[in-house]
A and B are shown apart, each in its own frame.
Chain A
Amino acid sequence: MAGQSNPDLSVFSAPEVEFLAEDEMVEIVPNIRMEALNMICGDYGPFFPQIASKVPLWLAVALKKRGKCTIRTPEWMSVERLTQVLEAERESPREFQPLPFHYVEISRLLFDHAHDDIPDLYMARSLIEDIRDVRFHKVETGLETISGRTHAVKLKNLSAMEVNIVRPFMVRALQAFYKHDSPHLIQQPRAMGSRQPQVVDRGPRRDLRPR
C-alpha cells in the first residue's frame, strides 16, 4: 500500500484507483500499422490496421488520444448487458452481480476518452450510473445492518471503487471493536499512534483483518 495518499485511513483516492484500473486489458482496433511496442509490463503489438488486438487501458487511451485507434467497447458494457445487470441488481437486494473489478473506472475512462466509439453512449452511461447507485446503496444498507451480533460480513463481487468507499468505515469500525473487546487497550487510546498498537496487538487483529 505504498501508493496510498493517506496510509492512515487505508484508502485510495479516486485517481489512484483509476491508475490501478488502467492496467486492465481492452481491445482496440488500430487504424495504422505499427511495430510491436516493448514496454516494461510487456510487449504489445505489432498492430495492423482494422485488426483488433489487446492492450492495457492506459495504452489504449494514449493511442486513442493520438487518433491511432478505436477502442472496442467491452462486452459487459453493451446496453443490453447493462440492462440485464441493472435488473438483476434491483431484484436481488442482498447480492452483487459479477462485473469487472474496475467497472466504474473503466467505464469512466472510456466515457471520457472514447465516447465516439461507444454505441448508445448516453444510455450506457446512465445505466452504469444507475448500477453504481444501486450497488452503493446496497453497500450502505448492508453496513447498517451490522450490529453487535454480526459475526461476519460477506460482500461478494464488490468492485474496487466500492471496496474503497467501505474501507475507512470498516477499518475504523473494526478498530473500535478491538478497542472495546480487549481490556488492555482501554487505557491506550489513539495517543500511541496508529502503528504502535498494531504491533502490540498483532495476534487477534490478524484474524479479523484479512487483506
Chain B
Amino acid sequence: MKARSVRLREAHKSSGSASYCSILWDLDGRHLVTASASDTSVSIHDVSQPSKPAKALHDHRAGVTALAFSANSSSLATGSIDHSVKLYSFPDGEFQSNVTRFTLPIRSLAFNKSGSLLAAAGDDDGIKLIATLDSSISKVLKGHKGSVTGLAFDPTNEFLASVDAFGTVIYWELSSGIAVHTLKAIAPNCDAENSLLNVLSWSPDGETLAVPGLRNDVVMYDRDTAEKLFTLKGDHERPVCFLSWSPNGKYIATSGLDKQVLIWDVDLRQDIERQKFDDRICCLSWKPNGNALAVIDVMGKFGIWEPAVPSCMKSPTDGALSLQAKNANGLLLFDEDDEKPSTSGSLDDAIEESHGESMPLSRKRLRKQSVYDDNSNEDSDGEDGLMRQIESRKRSSMKHQEGVRGSKEDYVSSSKWAKSKMQEAFQPGSTPAQTGKRRFLAYNMLGSITTIENEGYSHIEVDFHDTGRGPRVPSMTDYFGFTMASLNENGSVFANPCKGEKNMSTLMYRPFSSWANNSEWSMRLEGEEVKAVALGTGWVAAVTSFNFLRIFTEGGLQRHILCLNGPVVTAAGFNNLLAVVTHASGCLPSGGQMLEVKVFDISEGTQPVGCHLPLTPCSYLTWFGFSEEGQLSAYDSKGVLRVFSNQHGGSWLPVFSASKARKSEDENYWMVGLNASKLFCIICKAPESFPSVMPKPVLTLLSLSFPLASSDLGADDLENEFMMSNLHLSQIQKKIEEFSAAGLDTSELDDDAFNTEAAIDRCILRLIASCCNSDKLVRATELVKLLSLEKSVKGAIKLVAALKLPMLAERFNSILEERLLKESKGTSLTTNGTITNHTSLLRASPAPEITKVVETTSTSSSATMPQSHFSRHEKIEKANNMVGGMEPCKNPEGENAKIVFNQMKSYQPINPFAKKPNNQEKVEEKRRRDMETCKDASIRNPKEGVNQAPSIVASRGISNDGSNQKQSHGPVNPFAKASSNHEKSSLLDSIKKMKADHADEKVNNKKQKKKQEFK
C-alpha cells in the first residue's frame, strides 16, 4: 500500500525520550513553526528553502508546549513549561510581549477567529481568556478537574471547547463564560503521560466538534446540543492522539498512538489515506492553501506529507475560502484576511511540486478511489490534477484506461482545464482492462473478441453472435498480450503495444477460413507502436505511433504506408472503406478536442471524405464506425450520435442524443452499431459505463431521432420522421448515382427511392394536417411545395378542403398549377430528344409510307420531328388552356386565374426552356406549311396525315411503356415526370385519347399499386 513515506528531518533535539512537539503552518503556507517540550526554542522554517537553517526564537526558559497563530498569522503565541505565554509578531519573529503567566506549565493555546481573544490553559486551574489588544485577562473559565490539554474556539466565536487530561470536554459560552455542556470522560484519559495531550477541534464550518474517542476512533459532537453525531472508526489500533480538520472541512487528519496518520473523508466517514511513521506523530497541521500536511513526531522530527489527499480527489483547501467568509460574520479585525491566494492556483503548484515522486502513490490510490468517485459529489479539481499528471507522462494502457474511466464523470463545473486532454487511441467496441475479469477487445454487430489475462499470457476467444452462420473459431493463447483487436466476417486482427525492448509491438492477422494452410501472419514493428487497427474486405490497416497508416493485404503483403496528419484516435473499416480519426491539433482553450476524419477507399486508392469530426463540447469520442449501410458514424461521451451525410456538401448530422432518449438517470448506453433507423447499444446500469463479458450482453434497439427543438406544432414525431426520411432519400440517391456511374443495375435502389419519396409525402400530408389544426398556414403551404408526387398535392388539396380551409385550398391549387406548368415546360424540352429517338426507331421498322413522306421533305428525321413537336406543343397549349379555361369556372373570383395566367405569360419569356419551344414553334409552323404544301403537291397517299398520327401515338405508347418500366427511377429520371405529364395533357387530346388511355392506365395502375403497397 505504502509507496513512499514522508521524509522527516530533525527540528528539535530530543532528549531521547518522547516529548510533546507541535507544528503549525502560517497562513500563506510559506513557513512552518515547530516547537518541542524538550527544547526551549521555537523554530521558524522556510518551506521554500529547506536548506536554510531555521530561525530560532530563544525566549522561553523551558520547553515549549503550545503554539497558536492568529487567524491572519500576523502574531504567534507560544506557551511553555516555564509558565509563560509569549506573543511574537510574524513572520519576522520579533518578541512582542509576555501575554500572561501561569503558576503551572501551559499545555494549550488558541486564538479565536478574529484574533481578538487568546485562550490559554494548562496544568493550572482554569482557562484564561486574554484580550490580545491589551493583554488583559477578560475571563477565567473554571470547571476542569485536570490539566486542560486542548482548546478550540468555535469559528463563529460563540463557544470555546476544552478537553482535559481525564477526557472531559466542556463547551463554554464565550459571552457569559458559563459551561454549557460538560461531557465527562469521553476522550481517552492521558493523565499518565506527559507527552500525550488530549485535543479537540471544531470543523471549519463550526457545526461539529471532533474529539478523539475511547475506542480508537474520532467522535463528532453537535455544536448546539453536544450530542454524539457519528464516529470515524477505522484502522487506528490505538487511541487517537491528535486530529486536525482540513481547511475546507472535508477531510480530517488523525494521528494515533499506533504511529500512523490517517486522512478521512468526513462525508463518507471513510479513511482515504494513511501513512505509517517510526515514531508517534504528536501534531499535525494542514497547509492552509495547499494539499499538504505537516507532521511532527515525538522525537522532534518534522516533515511535509504532500499531497496528503490523493490528487484525484477534491483538494482539502477547496471551498475553504467561502467557509471562512461565511464564518467571518463581519467580525474581521484584520483586512489581510481577504487577501488569500486563490486556491486553484496554489493547488496547481502543489501538484506540480509533488508530481514526480508521488506518482505511484497517487495512482495506487486512484484505483481504490474510483469506487468512491462514483457516489461522492466531487469537484473536478482533483480529477484534473490527475489528468495533468497523466498527460505529462507516457502511459501504459492500463493507466490510460483509468484515466478515461476517471474522466467519464460528467462535470458541470467550468473548471479552467477541464478535459483539456487529447484522448488516447482506442478501438471502437473495446472495454477497459479489469484485473481478473474477461474484457472485450472488440464488440460489433457481428461478434466479439474477448480476452482474459492469466499469469503471463492471455486467453483470447472469438464469438459470433449468429452461432448458426459465423465460423467456429478456436480460442487462442496469446503470449503477446494483445490489447487491440478488430473483427469482421473474414478474419480478425490483433495488435499489442510496445512493452520495452524485448516486447516489440506486433500486428497479427488470423483469417477464419482460408484455402491455404498457415495463412495467419504477424508483423513486428521495431521502435514503432501500433495504436489502432482496422480491417475490411481484403485489407488490414494499422495506425502506429509514428502517425503511419500501414495497409496490408489479407495475405500479409505490405501494400501502402501513408502518413497521417496527427496522432490517431481510432480507425474503422467497412468493405473497402477505411476511416481513420486523428487529432487535428491540440485542445482548444475551452477544452474541446479537434479531431479529423479521413476515409480511404483502399481498392480504388482514393480518399472520398476528409473533414473534421465534430464533438459535443468537452466530450471525447467513444465509438466510431460505419452503419450497416456503410454510413460513417461517430458517438461521443455526451451520448450524441452523428452520421456523415453528403447533404450540404458533406456534413455531420446529429441523429441521436442519449440525454433525450434516456428513460432513467442510471442508464448508460454503450454503443455497438446502427442501421438506417435504429441504434444498437448495450444498456449499462450506472455507475457501470461498459458491459462485462458475462453474462452475455443483450443488445437494445433505440430509434434514431434528431435533437429537434420543441416546436409549437407539437408534432415532433412527424417532423423527425420527415427529416429522417429525407436523410435516407439523400443516402439512396447518392447510392444511385454511384451505382449508375459504375454502370450497375439501380432498379432496386430506384424502388427504394420511390418508396421513401412516397413515405415522405405521407409524412408531409400528416404534417400539413397538424399544421392546419394548429393554424400554421404558412408552414402548410411550405410543406405542400415539398411534396414530390403530384398525387399527394391533390391529396393535400382534398385534405385542406375537408378541413374547411378554402383559402389554403386555393393556394395549394395555384401551387399545383405552377408545378404542372413547370413540369410541362421541363418535359416538352426533355421529351424532344427522346421522341426523336423513338421515331427514329420507329422509322427503322414499320411504315414505309413515312419514309416515303420523309423523302419528300428535306431530311429524314426533321420530317417527323416537326409533327411530333407540333402535337406535343398542341397538347401543352391545350393543357394550358384547360388550366386557364377551367380555372375561372372553378374559381368564383376569377381573379386568381388571371393572376396565374399573367404569371404564366410573364414566366414564359424568362424561362430559357420555355423560349426554345417558342422558337421551335415558329420553325415548326414553317415546316408544317412546307409539309402541307408537300402534301398538296404530292397526291401519293391521302392517308399519310392520318397515318402519321397513329405512328406518333405509337411512339408515345412506346415512350409510355418506357416510362412504365422506368417509373420507379424517381426524380433522377426525366421519364417519370414526362409520364405524369402525359397523363394530364392527354386527357383532352381527343384524337389520341383512345389509344393513349390504355398506356396511361397502365401507368396509373402501377403507381397506385405501389402506393397501396406502402400504405
Contacts and interface: CB of A to CB of B under 8 A. Distances in A.
Are A and B associated in one complex?
Answer: yes
Interface of A: 29, 31-34, 48-52, 67-68, 70, 72, 119
B469 A50 contact: no
Interface in B422-480: 464-469
Contacts of B242: none
A49 B466 contact: yes
Given A31-B466, A33-B466, 7 more contacts: A31-B467, A32-B469, A33-B468, A51-B700, A67-B467, A68-B468, A119-B695
B251 interface: no
Nearest to A117: B695
Contacts of A72: 698
Contacts of A48: 699
A110 to B, nearest CB: 16
A68 B469 CA distance: 12
Chain B contact residues: helix, strand, loop or mixed: loop
Contacts of A67: 467
Contact of A52 (B466, B469, B698): B698
Max chain B CB contacts within 10 Å: which of A49, A50, A52, A67?
A50
A190 to B, nearest CB: 57
B627 to A, nearest CB: 15
Contact of A49 (B467, B695, B700, B701): B467
B466 A32 contact: yes
28 contacts: A29-B696, A31-B465, A31-B466, A31-B467, A31-B468, A32-B466, A32-B467, A32-B469, A33-B466, A34-B468, A49-B464, A49-B465, A49-B466, A49-B467, A50-B465, A50-B696, A50-B698, A50-B699, A51-B680, A51-B698, A51-B699, A52-B698, A52-B699, A52-B700, A67-B467, A68-B468, A70-B696, A119-B695
B534 to A, nearest CB: 22
A52 B699 CA distance: 7
Contacts of A50: 465, 696-699
Contacts of B680: 51
Contacts of A51: 680, 698-701
A20 B641 CA distance: 45
Interface of B: 464-469, 680, 695-701
The 5 closest A-B pairs by CB, nearest first: A49-B465, A32-B468, A49-B466, A50-B465, A31-B467
Contacts of B469: 32-33
Contacts, number: 37
Contacts of A52: 698-700
Contacts of B698: 29, 50-52, 72
A32 B466 CA distance: 4
A42 to B, nearest CB: 20
A31 B466 CA distance: 5
Nearest to B448: A50
Contacts of A33: 466, 468-469
A29 B696 CA distance: 10
Contacts of B465: 31, 49-50
Nearest to B701: A51
Nearest to B447: A49
Contacts of B701: 51
Nearest to A119: B695
Contacts of B464: 49
Nearest to A34: B468
Nearest to B468: A32
Contacts of A49: 464-467
A139 B697 CA distance: 41
Contacts of A29: 696, 698
A199 to B, nearest CB: 53
A72 B697 CA distance: 12
A187 to B, nearest CB: 67
Nearest to A68: B468
A51 B466 CA distance: 11
A119 B464 CA distance: 23
Max chain A CB contacts within 10 Å: which of B469, B699, B701?
B699
A33 B680 CA distance: 16
B743 to A, nearest CB: 32
A107 B290 CA distance: 61
Nearest to A49: B465
A51 B468 CA distance: 15
A72 B543 CA distance: 41
B113 to A, nearest CB: 51
A52 B700 CA distance: 7
A51 B699 CA distance: 5
A26 to B, nearest CB: 14
A119 B695 CA distance: 10
Max chain A CB contacts within 10 Å: which of B464, B465, B701?
B465
A119 to B, nearest CB: 8
Nearest to B465: A49
Contacts of B467: 31-32, 49, 67
Nearest to A27: B698
A34 B468 CA distance: 9
A198 to B, nearest CB: 52
Contacts of A34: 468
Nearest to B682: A50
Contacts of B700: 51-52
A166 B698 CA distance: 41
A201 to B, nearest CB: 57
A194 B346 CA distance: 96
A72 B695 CA distance: 11
A168 B695 CA distance: 45
A31 B448 CA distance: 13
A50 B697 CA distance: 8
B411 to A, nearest CB: 33
Nearest to A32: B468
A119 B469 CA distance: 28
A124 to B, nearest CB: 15
A29 B698 CA distance: 7
Contacts of A31: 465-468
A46 to B, nearest CB: 12
Nearest to B467: A31
B667 to A, nearest CB: 16
Nearest to B463: A31
A191 B211 CA distance: 92
A6 B701 CA distance: 47
Nearest to B697: A50
B407 to A, nearest CB: 29
B444 to A, nearest CB: 11
A31 B468 CA distance: 8
A84 to B, nearest CB: 19
A49 B468 CA distance: 10
A48 B699 CA distance: 10
A17 to B, nearest CB: 31
A181 to B, nearest CB: 57
A67 B467 CA distance: 9
A52 to B, nearest CB: 5
B464 to A, nearest CB: 8
